[in-house]
Structure 1
Amino acid sequence: MNEAQYNRLGGDRINSRQIDELIGIARGLAADGALNQPEIEFLQKWLAVNVDISDQPVIRTLYGRVNDILRDGVADQDECLELLDTLERFSSGDFELGEVLKATTLPLCDPAPDLYFDGLLYCFTGTFNFGQRKHCEQAVVERGGNCGGLRKGTDVLVIGAYATSSWKHSSFGNKIIQACEWRDGGMPIVIVSEEHWRRHL
């Protein structure tokens, strides 16, 4: 075995061990169905140690998300719930970070309508390629819209790009189901994908 083959084999072993360890950490953190700031800070420290010796995109992507959450020094409830959903799905093998759900598996409005912002109430659910939910909400507010939790006055529900076909069982599935029931009952609520929303920014 030459040096290049030896180094490649060693790197493969490191990457495999890192992923196995990360899965174990994710399962441990998500075991009680809740995340708190000390747990997220622990995850950040583990990722910081491992990100520079790994070529695994899953580690780099997760590290970026955790850093975004802790950038302001506080992990709020929505951020904890989003990260919990990510860790639960990753540790169960339900998805890889970076997988984008096909829009056809979601109950989106078809055809998707043109979107406007001024005076409209937006609600965001899921995990977004655009950034954290607060970044999405800021983009709407900057364009004259409003944001909040899902309620009967909501005009637009935007579903994040990162999800799986088992969205009904995810932590944000209840919002989607509720919005569908309202829409089917005649309420003028629009359900769109993150991709469609971003095209109108």
Structure 2
Amino acid sequence: MDIFNKFNRKDIQDRQIDTLIGLSKGVSADGNVNQAEAEFLMSWLVQSRQSTDNPIIINLLQRVSAMLEDGVLDREESVELLEILQKISGDTSEIGELAKTSSLPVNDPLPEIEFNGSSFLFTGTCAFGTRKQCHEATESLGGTIAKGVNKNLNYLVLGTYVTDSWAHETFGRKIEKAIEYREKGLPVVILTEEHWLCSGGLG
């Protein structure tokens, strides 16, 4: 079986990605991901993982496993998973790719992050983990989590899977508001998840 997999790995991976795109379209078609759909997707990913080292399958399995770790797909996790599946089914060239920071409205240059006593807000889908995991990591470094974009916000972190089409995404308004405050001279910093990871020693 190992020899078979070695010589047919690319063919297997191509078929898996085709199937994943089909599954993503089916699950996200009604604009919602429920518990049963998430569990079905995880079962397929677990089965597929046995015959592949495809990073797309591996990364998605890790994400879905983390979401279902407590046995419940909550509303926030459902929205995050829907965003991922919509990206997979919408544009195959973007599957698994990191956002191109040059096309995102991040601060240039990116400043060093002062975690202690600063407020953070996350938007989009993060590669680090669930929104809850990002919040816990930030709080462990002394930061606080803001409820929304306001004049007192210090950092808006753009998840890795935010692409240059952010203005059309559901979270686009948060980014627009942060840009507006930044242009007015308020000290809000828009940064990438990668910079947040590096500054916090989380990567």
State if a TM-score over 0.5 links the two structures. Answer: yes
1:76-111 CA deviation, whole Å, 9 max, x = no partner? 222211111111111112544431112111111122
Instruction: Report the residue type matching 1:27 in the other structure.
Output: K
Q: Partner of 1:111 in structure 2?
A: 109
**SS of residue in 2 equivalent to 1:74:** coil
Instruction: Quote how far apart the aligned CAs of 1:35 are.
Output: 1.4
Aligned partner of 1:170 in structure 2 is: 169
Conservation of the 8 A alpha-carbon contact between 2:166 and 2:172: yes
Unpaired runs of 5+ in structure 1? none
Q: Is the 8 A contact 1:158 1:192 kept in 2?
A: yes
Which of 80, 83, 96 is the matching residue for 2:81? 83
Aligned equivalents of 1:81 and 1:52: distance in 2? 28
Q: Is 1:191 aligned with 2:180?
A: no
Q: Is the 8 A contact 1:90 1:97 kept in 2?
A: yes
Question: Residue type of the partner of 1:157?
Answer: L
Alignment of 1:65-76 (within 5 A): 65-76=63-74
The structure with more radius of gyration? 1
> For the residues of structure 1 that align with 2:157 and 2:40, how far apart are their CA atoms?
31
Change (3 A) 1:10 1:143: closer
* Alignment partners' CA distance in 1, 2:198 and 2:3: 45
Of 98-107 and 164-173, more deviation after overlay is shown by: 164-173
Code of the aligned partner of 1:34:
N
SS in 2 for 1:158: strand
- The one-character-per-residue Cα deviations of 1:100-151 (angstroms, maximum 9, x if unpaired) are 1121111111222222122221101122232222222112211222113323
Rounded Cα–Cα distance in structure 1 between residues aligned with 2:3 and 2:117: 61
DSSP-derived class of the 1:192 partner:
strand
Give the gaps of 5 or more residues in structure 2. none
Q: Aligned residue for 1:160?
A: 159
Rounded Cα–Cα distance in structure 2 between residues aligned with 1:161 and 1:200: 15
SS in structure 1 of the partner of residue 59 of structure 2:
helix
CA shift at 1:157, angstroms?
0.5
Post-superposition offset of 1:158: 0.8
1:36-69 Cα deviation digits (max 9, x unpaired): 2221111111111211122432112111110011
Q: Distance in 1 between matches of 2:111 and 2:10?
A: 47
How far the C-alpha of 1:9 sits from its partner, in A, is: 6.5
In the alignment of these two chains, the number of paired residues is: 198
TM-score (norm 2): 0.86
| Aligned equivalents of 1:192, 1:48: Cα separation in 2 | 33
Distance 1:95 1:80, change over 3 A: farther
Q: 2:115 is paired with a residue of what secondary structure?
A: coil
Alignment of 1:2-151 (within 5 A): 10-151=8-149
- Indicate the residue corresponding to 1:181 in structure 2: 180
Q: Secondary structure, in 3 states, of the residue corresponding to 1:163?
A: coil
CA separation of 1:10 and 1:133: change in aligned 2, threshold 3 A: same
Residues 34 and 148 of structure 1: CA distance in aligned 2, closer, same or farther (over 3 Å):
farther
Q: Distance in 1 between matches of 2:25 and 2:191?
A: 31
Q: 1:150 to 1:42 in 2, by over 3 A?
A: same
